[in-house]
Amino acid sequence: MKQTAVDFLQDEILKDRMIKAKSIKEWNDVIDKARDMFQRQIIEAYATGSNDRLKSVINDYYNETYGSNGSDDRTMEEIEKLPY
C-alpha cells in the first residue's frame, strides 16, 4: 500500500525523536512534502473516481482548498508532476 501523507509525517516525527532533532527549516520541508503528498492523493482519487459526480466533488474540494483562493496556487497538473 502506498504511504499516505499522514503516515509520512508520522514516520518523520518518530525518526526525529529517535535520531536527531530537525531544524525549523527541515520541519518546514517535511510539512511541505506532506502537503504535496496529500494534494497528489486528492488528484489520484480524482483520476480514479468512478463517476462524474465524484470527480466534480473532488475537483471542487481541491480548488477550494488549494486553488488560487486557497493555500496553494499550483494547479492539479503541476502537483501531478512532483516526484513523490
pLDDT in 10s for each residue of the chain, 84 residues: 678 888 888 888 888 877 777 888 888 898 889 988 888 888 787 777 667 777 778 778 777 877 655 556 666 667 667 665
Q: Which residue has the cell 502537483?
A: 79
Res 21: pLDDT: 79
Range of the domain at 63: 5-80
Q: What does the alpha-carbon distance between residue 72 and residue 48 come to, in Å, rounded to a whole number?
A: 23
Please give the tally of structural domains in the chain: 1
Reference 60, options 82, 45, 80; nearest CA is 45
pTM of the entire structure?
0.56
Amino acid type, 31: I
